[in-house]
Structure 1
Amino acid sequence: MSTFEIERALFHWPTVVRLAPQGWAQNFAKSIAAQSRRRNWNPTAKQAEIMRRMVNDLFTQASNEEGDFTVIE
């Protein structure tokens, strides 16, 4: 995961923490939020992959919830 991707994930991370389902996902999100406050912290490869999926899920869910709309002509 590049530095840009980590920064992008951490930018959206408060939303990930807030919307993560109870259980493992929420515990992971809170753990990453706490760890990211440490100076020079970088996620492991496994953490980075999970973070990427969780952030991507934010945008996937948002686009799926838009649903159909009425076109006004």
Structure 2
Amino acid sequence: MNRASRNALSVHFDVPPKEFIFLARKLLGAYTFLHVIEAEVRGNTILEPFIHMQEEADVILVDQKTISPVD
């Protein structure tokens, strides 16, 4: 506790911008709502344009988890 309070008063500690805190709060609220209604969201289709995977194994793993079986 003492160490945390010293670090908080340090010149190297900066409070995140209010926009970041607002965004984090909104995302947490959306996640909580989706969890409560037991929704399933294909987040990979939302995030794919913004994230470039470097490892081929990661891409294969994501593909395995997101490809729905053919009925």
Please identify the structure whose Cα radius of gyration is greater: 2
TM-score, length of structure 1 as denominator length: 0.29
TM-score, length of structure 2 as denominator length: 0.29
